[in-house]
């Protein structure tokens, strides 16, 4: 029934992979790229600042950064993830900001997300925002079409209003926050002499 000769004769082809149920053809290797052709590069993994790292100064990159340690200074990236035990003291600017840890300073991002373990002490400038139940936020929230530009869209500052200190216990609608801040500003403007 079985013999050495038959086993040796039934060698699988070099470009196929045999499995118990089916045979899949593996495409031949692509020829090497010509001088003028470009191939898309794979996205590099995020740069990680570990929990035992304490950094003083500015961090700027067009890539992704995950911070687990302590940074005293401004951080600018494409995607910035702030770990549970991380602390940043300075301005944070990124297309996407995910805060799991602590930020003392301004946060600017197209998408800003405060998770349930987040603690933010400063103003947030965003295009879209999500605040999970349990997050702590002290400051004000400002929706802008381009929060990364650093401008306040030409808006004049209103009279000084104490910041809102709120441990978030349920999903927060940033529009309700804005309306509350607006009402407080109007009240402060009515009280202060012009």
What's the first-to-final CA gap in the chain, in angstroms?
105
pLDDT of residue 1: 53
Dihedral sign of CA atoms 111, 113, 119, 124 in order: positive
Confidence (pLDDT) at 41: 77
Q: What is the pLDDT of residues 39-87, one digit of tens each?
A: 777 788 889 999 999 999 999 999 999 999 999 999 999 999 999 999 9
Q: Which tokens hold the place of 28?
A: 């031949």
Q: CB under 8 Å to 191, separation ≥6 — which residues?
A: 159
Residue 2 has a pLDDT of 55
Q: What is the pLDDT of residue 43?
A: 81
Are 54 and 70 spatial neighbours (Cβ–Cβ below 8 Å)?
yes
pLDDT at 156: 35
pLDDT at 26: 47
Q: Is the pTM of this model over 0.95?
A: no
| List of the chain residues with pLDDT < 50 | 7, 9, 11-24, 26, 33, 151-161, 169-176, 178, 191-192, 194
Pick from 105, 58, 57, 109: nearest CA to 81: 109
Question: Cα-flanking dihedrals φ and ψ of residue 90, to 5°?
Answer: 155, -175
> Nearest to residue 82, comparing CAs of 139, 140, 127, 122?
122
Domain locations in the chain as residue ranges: 47-148+160-189
């Amino acid at each position: 029934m079985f013999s050495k000769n038959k086993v040796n004769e039934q060698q699988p082809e070099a470009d196929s992979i045999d499995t118990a149920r089916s045979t899949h053809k593996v495409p031949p290797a692509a020829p090497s790229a010509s001088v003028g052709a470009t191939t898309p590069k794979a996205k590099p993994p995020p740069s990680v600042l570990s929990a035992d790292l304490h950094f003083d100064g500015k961090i700027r990159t067009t890539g992704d950064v995950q911070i687990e340690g302590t940074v005293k200074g401004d951080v600018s990236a494409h995607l910035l993830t702030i770990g549970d035990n991380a602390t940043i003291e300075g301005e944070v600017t990124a297309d996407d900001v995910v805060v799991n840890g602590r930020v003392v300073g301004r946060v600017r991002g197209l998408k800003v997300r405060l998770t349930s373990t987040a603690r933010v002490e400063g103003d947030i400038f965003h295009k879209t925002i999500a605040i999970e139940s349990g997050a702590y936020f002290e400051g004000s929230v400002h929706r802008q079409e381009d929060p990364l530009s650093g401008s306040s869209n030409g808006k004049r500052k209103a009279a000084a209003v104490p910041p809102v200190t709120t441990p978030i216990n349920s999903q927060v609608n940033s529009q309700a926050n804005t309306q509350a801040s607006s009402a407080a500003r109007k009240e402060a403007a009515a009280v202060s002499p012009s």
